[in-house]
A = this chain, B = another copy of it.
């Protein structure tokens, strides 16, 4: 059965990004980027199952800030952070207030720009995914919106062992919520903890 998932790397104190995110520092200041990179790239074998799950969805939804920096009208030269062959290999629906033509990349990734809000973007992603899962890819503000709306079936946290102290929090503004723990595992670089929000 197709479900809506979200994989988020957060610090132990719940931040998905440090302060002062920028083009050069998409995770913001602080050690979060280094900590996230370590578990994904230094120990891929130890985290193989979780890494595979992150890219198993058949369609993605992401916020504008995750696709690229800036606000307002699009800079049409900007085609995302990921180069010519992004790691999604599937349709990606980008939430924005500014229309833009779909952007077909190499390797099966196509970015679609959706101006009708989170439910519309999810509906389009579901349709594109067919029997596959849809992943809400981030950032934190976007995942929080979907959590608040009760639209996420499986929240998979990848908790890196750092305390940041400031930045953009996951799980903020989502109201009171109960969840069912699904899985927990970990190693020296990361703790994986998956939850199903209870409606």
A residues contacting B by CB (< 8 A) are: 12-14, 30-31, 35, 159, 161-165, 169, 171-181, 184-191, 193, 195
Task: Decide: A171 and B31 in contact? CB cutoff 8 A.
Answer: no
Is A161's CB under 8 angstroms from B175's CB?
Answer: no
| Cross-chain pairs A/B with CB under 8 angstroms, 13 sampled | A12-B179, A14-B14, A35-B178, A161-B181, A162-B176, A162-B177, A162-B178, A163-B174, A163-B176, A164-B176, A165-B173, A181-B188, A186-B193
Q: Are A161 and B179 in contact (CB under 8 A)?
A: yes
Extra A-B contacts (7), CB below 8 Å, given A162-B179, A165-B173: A12-B195, A161-B180, A163-B176, A164-B176, A165-B175, A184-B186, A184-B193
A71: min CB distance to chain B, Å: 28
Q: Which residue of B lies closest to A195 (CB)?
A: B161
Q: Which residue of B lies closest to A186 (CB)?
A: B184
**How far is the CB of A178 from the nearest CB of chain B, in Å?**
5
Residues of B within 8 A of A163 (CB): 171, 174-179
Q: Which residues of B contact A175 (CB under 8 A)?
A: 163, 165
- What are the residues of chain B within 8 A of A176 when measuring CB–CB? 30-31, 162-165
**Nearest-CB distance from A59 to chain B (Å)?**
26
- Cross-chain contact A13 with B172 (CB below 8 angstroms): yes
Say yes or no: A185 contacts B188, CB within 8 Å: no
Candidate in A174, A180, A186 with the most chain B CB atoms within 10 angstroms:
A186
